[in-house]
């Protein structure tokens, strides 16, 4: 069994659809980062390869081993909607994307099912030890939370995942057990 310690990266303060857009994180809340680092086990750290996740992983790594950044742990790719404010996008597909997530893809981007499959495959290969710290994105964490809770994507979207929050899921040969989400140490 592997305990996954999932951290959402620091805030970007962007008010648009930021998936693969590589924005930096605001990591000025040193006290929050110190509490988060102290709450983590002595375990390897892996992150998405986007700068906001890499920098957050650097900030909480401490003396822990670091695994190479992973493209597979990136946020949803919003395709044509990337880096645009939701209010600018007047498409029925955007409504369907959030109201019936699953197989609905962003134009030129990914669906919930696409992201869930790539994240699951990446972590299946990494879930070998007792603990693994994963610094990623809200969408990545929500796909895992949905699978662990056995809920539909739409229901998982109601789960809040704040920046610099901690979510824990136990992974045992592909089966997942949720423990807590959105905890702020």
Q: What is the pLDDT of residue 161?
A: 98
| The two structure tokens encoding residue 26 | 């605001």
| 100 Cβ contact list (under 8 Å, min separation 6) | 154
**Tokens describing residue 185:** 């140490």
CATH number of 2-183: 3.40.50.1240
Give the pLDDT of residue 14. 95
pLDDT at 40: 98
pLDDT at 91 over 90: no
Name the residue with tokens 């962003």. Answer: 106
CA dihedral (162, 166, 169, 171) positive or negative: positive
Bigger pLDDT: 90 or 63?
A: 63
Q: Is the pLDDT of residue 178 over 90?
A: yes
pLDDT in the model for residue 131: 98
- Band the pLDDT of 173: cuts 50, 70, 90: confident
Tokens of 111: 């669906």
**pLDDT tens figures, 105-154:** 999 999 999 999 999 999 998 998 899 999 999 999 999 999 999 999 99
3-state secondary structure the chain: CEEEEEEECCCCCCCCCCCCCCCCCCCCCHHHHHHHHHHCCCCCEEEECCHHHHHHHHHHHCCCCECCCEHHHCCCCCHHHCCCCHHHCCCHHHHHHHHCCCCCCCCCCCCHHHHHHHHHHHHHHHCCCCEEEEEECHHHHHHHHHHHHCCCHHHHCCCCCCCCCEEEEEEECCEEEEEEEEECC
Kindly state the average pLDDT of the residues 92-107. 92
What is the average pLDDT value for the chain, to the nearest integer? Answer: 96
Mean pLDDT of 57-85: 97
The yes-or-no verdict on residue 168 having pLDDT over 90 is yes
151 burial type by CB count under 10 A (0-12 exposed, 13-18 middle, 19+ buried)? middle
């Amino acid at each position: 069994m592997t305990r996954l310690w999932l951290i959402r990266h620091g805030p970007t303060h962007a008010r648009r659809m930021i998936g693969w857009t590589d924005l930096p994180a605001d990591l000025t809340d040193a006290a929050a980062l110190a509490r988060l680092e102290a709450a983590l086990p002595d375990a390897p750290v892996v992150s998405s390869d986007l700068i906001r996740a890499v920098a957050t992983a650097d900030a909480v790594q401490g003396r822990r081993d670091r695994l190479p950044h992973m493209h597979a742990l990136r946020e949803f790719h919003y395709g044509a909607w990337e880096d645009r404010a939701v209010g600018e996008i007047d498409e029925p597909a955007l409504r369907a994307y959030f109201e019936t997530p699953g197989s609905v893809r962003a134009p030129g981007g990914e669906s919930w099912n696409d992201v869930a499959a790539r994240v699951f495959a990446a972590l299946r290969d990494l879930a070998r030890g007792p603990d693994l710290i994963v610094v990623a994105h809200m969408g990545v964490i929500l796909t895992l939370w949905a699978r662990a809770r056995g809920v539909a994507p739409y229901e998982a979207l109601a789960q809040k995942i704040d920046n610099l929050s901690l979510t824990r899921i136990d992974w045992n040969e592909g089966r997942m057990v949720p423990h807590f989400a959105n905890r702020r140490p």
